[in-house]
Structure 1
Amino acid sequence: MLRSWRQRRRVSQLDLAIEADVSARHISFMETGRARPSREMVMKLAEELGVPLRHRNRLLVAAGFAPVYPEREVRAPELRVVREALDKILAGHEPYPALVVDAAWNLVAANSAAGMFMEGAPAELLAEPVNVMRLSLHPQAMGGRLLNLAEVRAYLLSQLRRQAEASGDGRLAELHDELASYAYPGVDLNVAHVPGPADILVPLRIADGDRVLSMFTTIATFGTPLDVTVSELAIETFWPNDEATAAVFREGLQPKP
C-alpha cells in the first residue's frame, strides 16, 4: 500500500526518505515487509504523501495498528458545529445556488436555489444518493441544458479523472467511465473553446426557456479536518457570471417554458 501511494504521487524512495528523515533503505524495507514501521512513522509517511484520511486508516490497519481518524455520519451529534457551519454557508449564499457533496460527489445538502439543477431530471437520477456529477452531465438532466456542453464536459471529466488518480477511489473511476459513455446526439464533443481576451473563467451556460443563465463555481473544504467524513465534504457555490443572470436570481428564479 505504501508503494502504491508513493508511485501514485510520483515520489521516489529517496525523495520520500529525505522528507521523512529516514534512509531510502528503510523505505524499501517497509514496502517489502522486511521492516515494520511504528504508528508514528505510518502517519508521517501518509502526511508526506498527502494520503486521504480514509486511506491513512487503512495504512495503519495494514501495519497492525488501530485506525486513529473517526468517521461519523454528518447527522451525528459530534458534528453539530459542522452542520451549523454548512447551514450558514448554504443559507448565506442565497439567492444563488450552493450545495455540499461528499468524496463521491453525492449530494449531502443544498439550499433552495440549487433546486434548479434537479428540474426536469428523471426520477432515477433523483433517488438517493443523488450524484451531482451525474446530474450535471446526464443528457436528460443538466447535460441536455448546457449550451457549452463540450467544454464543461471536458473540464468535469478531466477533474474527475485527476481526483480518481489522486485519491485511489475506485468509485470515482467508475463514475468517470459512466459519464464519459453518455451520448449526446447532434452535439460535437470535440469542440475546444479558445479563450478570448475578455475571458476569465469557463462558465456554465444553462438554457432556461428563452433566456441563458451564465454561472461559474467555487469549491471550498474544511481546513485541518481530523474526521474522515468532514475531510471529504466539499461546498460548491454558484455565482452569476453577468448582471442579467444575477437579476434573474435576485428576482426569484422561476422556470421558463
Structure 2
Amino acid sequence: MTTATEPASGHFGRELRRWRTRRRVSQLELAIRADTTQRHLSFLERGRSRPGRTMVVRLAESLHLSLRERNDLLLTAGYAPVYAESGLDAPELGPVREALDRILDGHLPYPAVVVRAYGEMVSANAAFDVLAEGAAPALLEPPVNVLRLVLHPDGMGPRVANLAEWGRHVTSNLRDLVRRSPSPVLEEFVAELDGYLPAMEPRADHLGFAVPLRLRTRDGELRLITTLTSFATAVDVTVSELHLEAFLPADEATAEILAHRNAARA
C-alpha cells in the first residue's frame, strides 16, 4: 500500500522496474511491446510520470504478468483491480465448472485432475484412483495437494519407479515459476517436495527430467505422459489460475490396463 509520504507513481515505478528486471527485458524492448516510448517508460520508472490505467494494463500484459499480478500492479499505481476473482462456486462460473466436468469425464479411462496454483486439487475424474491407490488418508483429505500426493513417501512416491528423474521434472517446473513470480510460500513448498526425492547421478542413458511417469499399480506398471492445459483467455483470476493435468498412456499395455480398470469401475 502506498504510504502517506510516497506518491503512487513512485511505488508503481519501483514495481514496474522490479518486474522488468525479473523478466530480463530492457526499457526499449518493453516500450516497443507496450507501444510507448523509452523516454516515457523511464519517466514512469523514476516516478516522474503517473501512468493511465490502460497503460498499466498494457505494461503488465507485455511483461506476461498473471491476472493476480496485474491487479497488484494496478493497485500500486492507485487504481482498483480490473480482473474479478470469483469463488469457484459462484453462479457466474457455472459454465466453467460444467465444461471442466465434461473434459474430465471425456478423458476417461485415463486420469485427469484440475488444480489451482501450487497443486491444490479442485476436481478429478474417476480414474484419479490410480494415483491415490494406497495413499495415506491424511494426504487425501480436502484440500488435496496433488503435487504433494504424487511425491510424498506416504503417497504415490514409493510406487514411482523413476521417482528421482520424474520428481525433478515436477520440481524444476515449480522453480521456473518461482523465477518468473517470486513467492516465499512457493519456495518453501519446492524445498518440501525436494526433500521427498532420492539423490540421483545421471547415467550415460540419462534423457533428462521430462520423462514418462512409470507408476506401479496392482494391475501392473503404467507408463504415462502428461499434458498441462491452462485457460489463456480467462479474465477472472480464479479461472486463470486453474490448470488441467491429463495423463495419457505412453504404450499399449498402459492403455489396456487403464481401460480394464475403467470397465471394472463402471
TM-score normalised by the chain length of structure 1: 0.89
Conserved in 2, the CA contact under 8 Å of 1:149 and 1:189? no
The match for 1:146 is 160
Among residues 189, 206, 227, which one is paired with 1:175 in the alignment?
189
> Structure 1 residue 165 and structure 2 residue 176: aligned?
no
User: Which one-letter code corresponds to 2:54 in the other structure?
Assistant: E
Which of 67, 73, 88 is the matching residue for 1:74?
88
Contact 1:150/1:192 (<8 A) preserved: no
Partner of 2:7: none
Q: Which letter does structure 2 place at the counterpart of 1:180?
A: D
Equivalent residue, structure 1, for 2:201: 190
Alignment length, in residue pairs?
249
Q: CA deviation at 1:21?
A: 2.9
CA deviation digits over 1:164-200, x for unaligned, max 9? 222334432221111112264xxx423357368xx9x
Aligned: 1:25 with 2:45: no
CA deviations on 1:202-254 (whole Å, 9 max, x unpaired) are 21101124721111111112231100011111111111111111111111169
- Within 2, Cα distance between the matches of 1:88 and 1:171? 33
Partner of 1:247: 256
Aligned CA RMSD, in angstroms, stands at 2.2
Q: Which segments of 5 or more consecutive residues in structure 2 lack a partner in the other structure?
A: 1-14
Matched residues in 2 for 1:86 and 1:21: separation? 36
| Matching residue's letter, 1:126 | L
Q: 1:32 to 1:76 in 2, by over 3 A?
A: same
- Superposed counterparts of 1:79-98, under 5 Å: 79-98=93-112
Contact persistence 1:70–1:226 (CA under 8 A):
yes
Distance 1:2 1:173 in 2: 22
> Is the contact made by 1:151 and 1:193 (CA closer than 8 Å) also made in structure 2?
no
Find out whether 1:46 has 2:60 as its counterpart: yes
- The structure 1 segments of at least 4 consecutive aligned residues displaced by more than 4 Å after TM superposition are none
Distance 1:15 1:140, change over 3 A: same
Match of 1:85, SS state, is helix
Is the Cα contact below 8 Å between 1:97 and 1:113 reproduced in 2? yes
Segments of 5+ residues of structure 1 without an aligned counterpart are none
Specify whether residues 161 and 183 from structure 1 end up closer, same or farther in structure 2 by C-alpha distance, changes over 3 A only.
closer
Cα distance in 1, alignment partners of residues 34 and 77 from structure 2: 17
- 1:231 match: 240
More helix per residue: 2
